[in-house]
Amino acid sequence: MHAVTIVEGALVWAERDDPRPGPGELLVQVRAAGVNGADLLQRRGLYPPPPGVVADVPGLELAGEVVAVGEGASRFAPGDRVMSIVAGGGQAELAVVPEGSALRVPDAMSDAEAGGFPEVFSTAHDALVTQAALSAGERVLVSGAAGGVGTAAVQLAHALGATVVASVRSPEARDAVAALGADAVVEPAEVAASGPYDVCLELVGAPALAATLPAMATGGRAVVIGVGAGARLELDLLAVMGRRLRIGGSTLRARSLEDKAAVAAAVARDVLPLVASGAVRVPVWATVPMAEAQAAYDRFAAGGKVGKLVLVTD
Amino acid sequence: MHAVTIVEGALVWAERDDPRPGPGELLVQVRAAGVNGADLLQRRGLYPPPPGVVADVPGLELAGEVVAVGEGASRFAPGDRVMSIVAGGGQAELAVVPEGSALRVPDAMSDAEAGGFPEVFSTAHDALVTQAALSAGERVLVSGAAGGVGTAAVQLAHALGATVVASVRSPEARDAVAALGADAVVEPAEVAASGPYDVCLELVGAPALAATLPAMATGGRAVVIGVGAGARLELDLLAVMGRRLRIGGSTLRARSLEDKAAVAAAVARDVLPLVASGAVRVPVWATVPMAEAQAAYDRFAAGGKVGKLVLVTD
């Protein structure tokens, strides 16, 4: 098979050994694999995968067709369309997926949509529902709403009955984000005045969160998922105490297989029905042949996109 | 009646108008009222009470005998022994208590113990159970364990089946804290090496929490209750994300009556049975006549105590 391969900070489309499914694993012929911010960090050597995961093939999510199943794997059979988060190695013609992480692709979903679904919807659902316990009627800020997780979170929060304020940097992204269900789309400088917020999903980083915290309501919860703009936060613990704030953060990648299976089960239960009903969808900004991953990453890094950039195979 | 009264940073035992119970309130003849760190801040003008609460009579907890009940109050009758958190005004011969906040004093509890119970056990229970969701078998750090909340938290966490590491500054406090059920009593400098911790109850402040965070386990929760040593925390959000940490904080005083009633109900359900069984107790370090509050506060401020300093009436 071929795989996107990191060679001294560049991405090449290289011949690699075919992976083989171990016990409880699926071998998937990959049709589509989303690009995420973490992939760009990994290309620069800043976000190594967990131990035991291929280090020079990026890719945290994929969709495709099961072509073989490992010993004891029983939920899927060859020919099934599946999508999954993976700890790495997703941007390749073949990938191995732990069966517990795999989700069945709804019929209405294209390969490109499915390839851009697992990481961002799993992350958004885990952050909003599992970590922040978002309730209907609450007011949520999605800080950095134009990206993959942001567009997923706006839709999910809206579908859950929350009032959604979405911050976006680029004026061009405003209409697209509003169309996803945001009640208000604001510039970063308008965030503080647009509160109070019961929940903040922080996808930009410490400077944005620092500006948001004074606008958090009593009992507010902030969940940090992205820190591209900086990771050092100066926190006033008196304000945290006085308003009973909670500041947390999360990544999916480092979790145990059991945790990831629990995340997948929650997505299957809560989010796939919303996909089937059309309440949420994967906004695919562009598809690029997987062999041209280098150019795709550069487009991602240049910014200005709304939604997902997805690599596709022939 | 007489009440401890703040006059230009000093405490005097002054004649005041008797308070009168409003709808849903109890009038209590106070027998004992614990001193808390917040009282010392209030004396210095640094911790004003919420709006509508008497500003110059300190006291966040009390115990005594019901002498009258306001309109609609039905859970207690004159002659009942009660104890309660209050938003202020507890250090007086008479105090008004919202009925929902009041707890019946177990027979085995002395007035002095009851006067030092509500604030610290409510705070410790709310922080460990409601905020941090401490589970049996988890490892908890009580950072600053010799004080009122600390001694309550060590006992509660031990009774809940957690492994308790207690940090204390003063070598003289070690044995007393160990006797409350701490599995290990360590100096502040030993905290980081004594982890990992699933839960940290932070009673010292930002510098102590900063030293503890690298020793928090994946999924760890820190709850900040005291910041005497400093409130500005420099937080590494990448570490928060990577280990899915959660940092929160809490005060009881600013909460709504409904919230305080919920806290009292949780204490009645979970903690009073532990008092009745002898599993937890209020370690009364000293009792001082209420008229000598000025000297009592000065002793509190001098440090070195283990447990509660309680003001008592004749």
Return the number of other C-beta atoms located less than 10 Å from residue A17's C-beta: 8
What are the chain B neighbours of A236 within 8 Å (beta carbons)?
231-232
Rounded mean pLDDT of chain B?
95
Mutation site, B131, B199, B233, B237, interface A, largest A CB count within 10 A: B237
Which of B232, B238, B241 is nearest residue A236 as measured by Cβ atoms? B232
Q: Cα B10 to the chain's mean position, in Å?
A: 23
> Terminus-to-terminus CA distance in chain A, angstroms?
13
- Rounded to an integer, what distance in angstroms lies between the CA atom of residue A193 and that of residue A214? 10
Domain A121-249, what fold?
A: Rossmann fold (3.40.50)
| CATH 3.40.50.720 domain residues, chain A | 121-249
Instruction: Kindly indicate the confidence band of residue B174, based on its pLDDT and cuts at 50, 70 and 90.
Output: very high
pLDDT tier, A51 (very low <50, low <70, confident <90, very high otherwise) = confident
Model pLDDT for residues A148-157, shown as the tens digit of each residue: 999 999 999 9
Of A43-47, A72-76, A215-219, B109-113, give the lowest mean pLDDT range.
A43-47
Mark out chain B residues that contact chain A at CB-CB < 8 A: 131, 205-206, 209, 218, 224-225, 227, 231-238, 240-242, 244-251, 254
Nearest-10 Cα torsion for B291, B297, B299, B302:
-170
Provide, rounded to the nearest whole percent, the portion of chain B with pLDDT above 70: 100
Nearest to B207 by CA among B163, B144, B116, B162: B144
Cβ of A242 within 8 Å of Cβ of B235? The answer is no
Tens digits of residue pLDDT in B255-307: 888 999 999 999 999 999 999 999 999 999 999 999 999 999 999 999 888 99
pLDDT tens per residue across span A244-255: 999 999 988 888
Helix (H) or strand (E) holding B38: helix B37-43
| Structure confidence at residue B314 (pLDDT) | 84
Whether A48 shows a pLDDT value over 90: the answer reads no
Side-chain-side CA neighbours of residue A157 (13 Å): 38
Do B240 and A224 lie within an 8 Å CB cutoff? yes
Q: What is the pLDDT of residue B121?
A: 97
Q: Are A170 and A194 in contact (CB under 8 A)?
A: no
Instruction: Give yes or no for residue B149 having a pLDDT over 90.
Output: yes
B236 Rama sector, left if φ>0, alpha if ψ -120 to 50, beta otherwise: beta
Q: How many CB pairs under 8 A join A and B?
A: 92
The pair phi, psi for residue A124, each rounded to 5°, is -65, -45
Pairing of strands A81-85, A61-69: antiparallel
Q: What pTM was estimated for this model as a whole?
A: 0.92
Q: Where are the beta strands (DSSP E) in A120-260?
A: 139-143, 163-167, 184-186, 197-202, 216-224, 232-236, 246-249
Q: Tell me which chain A residue has its CA closest to the CA of residue B225.
A: A241
**Cβ contact (<8 Å) for B209 and A236?**
no
What is the percent of chain A where pLDDT is above 70? 100
Residue B50 clears pLDDT 90, i.e. is over it = no
Task: For CATH 3.90.180.10, list the domain ranges present in chain B.
Answer: 2-117+254-312
Distance between CA B232 and CA A239 in Å, rounded? 10
pLDDT of residue B46: 84
Q: What tens digit of pLDDT does each residue of B219-253 get?
A: 999 999 999 899 999 999 999 999 999 999 998 88
Q: Which of A212, A221, A237 to mutate to test the interface with B (most CBs of B within 10 A)?
A: A237
CATH architecture of B2-117+254-312: Alpha-Beta Complex (3.90)
| pLDDT surpasses 90 at A210 | yes
Which of B240, B258, B259 should one mutate to test binding to chain A, selecting the residue with the greatest count of A CBs within 10 A?
B240
For the stretch A3-14, what's the b/e string if a residue is b when 16 or more beta carbons lie within 10 angstroms of its beta carbon?
bbbbeeeebebe
DSSP state of B292: G
Which residue on chain A is closest to B238 by alpha carbon? Answer: A231
3-state secondary structure of B7: strand
